Chains A and B, each alone.
Chain A
Amino acid sequence: GAVVSQHPSWVICKSGTSVKIECRSLDFQATTMFWYRQFPKQSLMLMATSNEGSKATYEQGVEKDKFLINHASLTLSTLTVTSAHPEDSSFYICSAREHSVGNQPQHFGDGTRLSIL
């Protein structure tokens, strides 16, 4: 089955640090990847849609200068949280779809728990 790998799974860092999270599709090509954010005991909120070879599309209220997304290849998208602060602490999850066809499910990575001290 389709496997999405996310790395790192857990990050603790000081306020002001920039953190990069990688999302890889291991056995399929993903022209589109998605980045979600989940606060404790809450639902997943879409942050942005990452398209290979083009700029990401950000959801309303998400700062694109704060959350930099790069989708340089068909198997890799990265999310960089720039100058992270404690309020950026959250669970970040990526997902990818095999094809741009409506009924294909999104396959999710295992998530990254980010804690900013």
Chain B
Amino acid sequence: AQKVTQAQTEISVVEKEDVTLDCVYETRDTTYYLFWYKQPPSGELVFLIRRNSFDEQNEISGRYSWNFQKSTSSFNFTITASQVVDSAVYFCALSEASQGAQKLVFGQGTRLTINP
């Protein structure tokens, strides 16, 4: 069965600090997809990144970077030089190819607060 664990329920840092959000997943599939979404206080879900299981290259997009490690089943997200606007709940999610890659299973979310 697929499962996503975000052990950090809440994180609070001061602006300009770097912060890493952890995500650990469980799946029996060899083909799967990993996602990160941001949910600001207004409620909408903003897509940040997707990764397929065959692509372990780390990715950097501006201040955001993602570290995919199949050996530890982790897909961690780092924000460099955090800003107040980064405050939101961040969700890691997984979908499996055997499920038609249709179902998204979300982690519990990490509430990130960036203090000025």
Residues of chain A at the chain B interface (Cβ within 8 Å): 32, 34, 41-46, 49, 91, 93, 95, 97, 100-103, 105-111, 113
B43 at the interface (CB under 8 A from A): yes
B72 at the interface (CB under 8 A from A): no
Contact assessment for B106 and A43 in the assembled complex, using a CB-CB cutoff below 8 Å: yes
Can you offer 29 A-B residue contacts whose CB atoms are under 8 A?
A32-B102, A34-B104, A42-B109, A43-B91, A43-B106, A43-B108, A44-B45, A44-B91, A45-B106, A46-B103, A46-B105, A49-B102, A91-B43, A95-B104, A101-B101, A102-B31, A102-B33, A102-B52, A103-B33, A103-B52, A103-B101, A105-B47, A105-B50, A108-B37, A108-B44, A108-B46, A109-B44, A110-B42, A110-B43
Instruction: Compute how far the CA of A109 lies from the CA of B42 in the bound complex, rounded to whole angstroms.
Output: 12
B95 at the interface (CB under 8 A from A): yes
Closest to B37 in A: A108
Interface residues on B, range: 20 to 34
B100 at the interface (CB under 8 A from A): yes
Instruction: Compute how far the CA of A32 lies from the CA of B46 in the bound complex, rounded to whole angstroms.
Output: 19
Contact assessment for A102 and B43 in the assembled complex, using a CB-CB cutoff below 8 Å: no
Contact assessment for A111 and B43 in the assembled complex, using a CB-CB cutoff below 8 Å: yes
Residues of A within 8 A of B64 (CB): none
Instruction: Compute how far the CA of A43 lies from the CA of B4 in the bound complex, rounded to whole angstroms.
Output: 11
Contact assessment for A102 and B97 in the assembled complex, using a CB-CB cutoff below 8 Å: yes
Instruction: Compute how far the CA of A26 lies from the CA of B43 in the bound complex, rounded to whole angstroms.
Output: 19
**One of A43, A107, A113 near B47 (C-beta < 8 A):** A107
Residues of B within 8 A of A93 (CB): 43, 45
Contact assessment for A103 and B50 in the assembled complex, using a CB-CB cutoff below 8 Å: yes
Instruction: Compute how far the CA of A114 lies from the CA of B111 in the bound complex, rounded to whole angstroms.
Output: 22
Chain B: minimal CB distance from A2 (Å): 9
Residues of A within 8 A of B50 (CB): 103, 105
